[in-house]
A = this chain, B = another copy of it.
Amino acid sequence: MIAGILAVGTELLMGQTVNTNAAYLGAQLNNMGISVYYHLTVGDNRLRMKQLLKQLIDECDLIFTTGGLGPTLDDITKEVIAETLGLEMVFDDHSMARIKERFKLYNRQMTESNTRQALFPEGSYILDNDEGTAPACIVKVPNSEKRIYVLPGPPREMKHIFTRHMHADLLKRNNMAMHSKYLSVYDLGESSTEDALLDLIEIQHDPTIATYAGDGKVLVRVTSFNTDAKIATERVDKMVKEIYKRIGDHIVSDQGENINDVIVKKLIEKNLTIAFAESCTGGKLIESLIQVPGASKVINRGYITYDNSAKIEDLGVSPDTLSRYGAVSHETCLEMVKGVQSKAKVDIGISITGIAGPGGGTDEKPVGLVYIGVMFKDKCYTLEHHFRGDRSMIRQRALNTTLKIIFDLLKE
């Protein structure tokens, strides 16, 4: 099956909005084994929209449109589809009732133009939108098996309609079942991950393997499209086992979770408390964990001891250590972690001190030098790291490495 995506919206052409919808749909369809040939974007212009739509109908089996379902006169996607296919626009009472209800719920005034949202190309299969006022639909191309999937533009609404109403229909239409696992890989770059799996990626057929990188995480997707669910599961599990053999030390979840979510979950499970003393990361570490709902059960406190006076007063680092070894040293890092653990009386203490730059580096202690201190049970140690990149990359890498260290502590 071949698909094409048509995004409608002048704000996309003008670069006010990045077209993340196309990437989302592209990935979803690709996961289902559907080939996407085109992502096209056009403004709210009847003529040009019609022309691109015709092209897609000619060349593709499945056409997806996003945007242009709002109440204003600019919103013409459904009309243009009807015009292109030679269909009438018909009024849908059910949709109208739902739109009215929604306005009542939010106590907002409904305008005449909102009634346009209840008009659809005749014969459409109409889909309720629980995330907004614009209902979506699936339009059958007359005298063919082709379908146009008509989606709203706001990403939240678009994803809702796609996952709730279209995903299953597409799998069925493509005669496929699907089984996936998502491995979250940390502290190993995308290219190193790919290198380690290169032979598996090159021969991939069923299951398929794909990698996606972002924010220090590499997500490895393993998917089988086998129609037999049992076979699909077996094949995915076998491949996942092989991947664990190669890079298992770097996998923190086989459900695509982020490392900070996994850490908070494990801390809660094991009933362990934690506290932090951060210098160069400046709160990034504790913040990444406090993001997670439930964090208050296990996170006790953090000291952002940016100035040396704070290291001395709050953590009890000795002025002598600071003057003899410097703020960025094994010795200071060790006293920081001892200080935070004894102050907070927690199970796990973590400290970080380093030089994020751009200033502050020397030949002996260059920008990128970071010490990480750990205190847990009978263990107490500091690690030296050298990170590359600019200020923001160094701080991000220090964060990722520290999170991985905490994750590893919790494995035992």
A85 in the interface (beta carbon within 8 A): no
Contacts of A290 in B (CB 8 A): 282-283, 304, 306
Contact B42 A37 (CB under 8 A): yes
Q: How far is the CA of A293 from the CA of B306 in the complex (A)?
A: 13
Q: How far is the CA of A38 from the CA of B40 in the complex (A)?
A: 7
* With A12-B39, A27-B16, A37-B43: A307-B303 Cβ-Cβ less than 8 Å: no
Contact A307 B301 (CB under 8 A): yes
Main secondary structure of the interface of A (DSSP, over half): mixed
Contact B283 A304 (CB under 8 A): yes
Question: Number of A residues whose C-beta is below 8 Å from B?
Answer: 70
Nearest CB to that of A28 among chain B residues? B15
Q: Most B CB atoms within 10 A — which of A52, A210, A281, A300?
A: A300
A14 in the interface (beta carbon within 8 A): yes
Q: Most B CB atoms within 10 A — which of A14, A285, A360?
A: A14
Q: How far is the CA of A43 from the CA of B392 in the complex (A)?
A: 33
**Nearest CB in chain B: distance from A221 CB, A:** 10
**Nearest CB in chain B: distance from A408 CB, A:** 23
**Nearest CB in chain B: distance from A152 CB, A:** 18
* With A276-B304, A284-B287: A25-B15 Cβ-Cβ less than 8 Å: yes
Selected from B41, B299, B306, the residue in CB contact (under 8 A) with A306 is B299
Q: How far is the CA of A38 from the CA of B43 in the complex (A)?
A: 8
* With A20-B18, A284-B287, A287-B287: A26-B43 Cβ-Cβ less than 8 Å: no
Selected from B19, B282, B307, B360, the residue in CB contact (under 8 A) with A287 is B282
Contact B23 A12 (CB under 8 A): yes
A48 in the interface (beta carbon within 8 A): yes
* With A23-B18, A284-B283: A306-B310 Cβ-Cβ less than 8 Å: no
8 A Cβ contacts from A257-276 to B: 276
7 A-B pairs within 8 Å (CB atoms) are namely: A13-B26, A40-B41, A281-B287, A299-B307, A300-B306, A300-B310, A302-B306
Would you list the 9 A-B pairs with minimal beta carbon distance, nearest first? A283-B283, A282-B290, A15-B27, A15-B26, A302-B304, A301-B310, A283-B287, A39-B41, A15-B23
